[in-house]
Amino acid sequence: MLERFYPDVYLDSAYEIDFQQWYDRGYRGVLFDIDNTLVPHGAPADARSIALFRRLQKTGLKCCLISNNQLPRVKPFADAVGAFFVENAHKPSRKGFQEAMRRMGTGKADTLFVGDQLFTDVYGARRAGIFSILVKPIHPKEEIQIVLKRYLERIVLYFYRREKEKGT
């Protein structure tokens, strides 16, 4: 039952992902959550995120931000990093993920998702049939509803790690 929330890969940071390796495996699009995945919650695009998206574009990967935030938060970030975007995505609904792939011209088989939350990001990507990479949140300061979800995430991650150690 909890498996529906398990990421395909769990890493410390979006900035440690070897995107060239994923490109070499046939992936052509990357969907990103913004807050606490790329920058602290509510922060604008910074030099590190801008540099990441430039590297991704040079690699040949198309990028799209998919966020439950509204246009005033998402569009300036997308403009700064040069990415497509889907705001008010209603994650974990499949529709936002499908729209993001449509905008990039990619499909389930060649799209990765990178985010920091299990119940919106990973679960939504899994529902949409997309390979999911969970990363640790960048900053501990979060909205109260997210703080509460983090307690439940710890339980799911405990079982996820236990299964990974068993090799299942």
Structural domains of the chain, ranges and CATH numbers in brackets: 2-166 (3.40.50.1000)
Strands ordered across the beta sheet of 111-115: 9-11, 131-135, 111-115, 29-32, 62-66, 84-86
The reported pLDDT for the residue numbered 101 is 98
From the list 38, 3, 43, 10, the residue with the least C-alpha distance to 135 is: 10
Residues 73 and 33: beta-carbon distance below 8 Å: no
Token duo for residue 131: 């390979």
The reported pLDDT for the residue numbered 166 is 83
The reported pLDDT for the residue numbered 149 is 77
Helix, strand, coil % in the chain, rounded to nearest 5: 50, 15, 35
The reported pLDDT for the residue numbered 100 is 98
Tokens 């039952």 belong to 1
CB atoms within 10 A of CB 122: 29
Whole-structure pTM value: 0.90
The reported pLDDT for the residue numbered 145 is 66
The reported pLDDT for the residue numbered 142 is 62
From the list 106, 103, 112, the residue with the least C-alpha distance to 130 is: 112
Average pLDDT along the chain, 168 residues, taken 10 residues at a time: 92 97 98 96 96 97 97 98 98 97 98 95 97 90 68 86 81
The reported pLDDT for the residue numbered 136 is 93
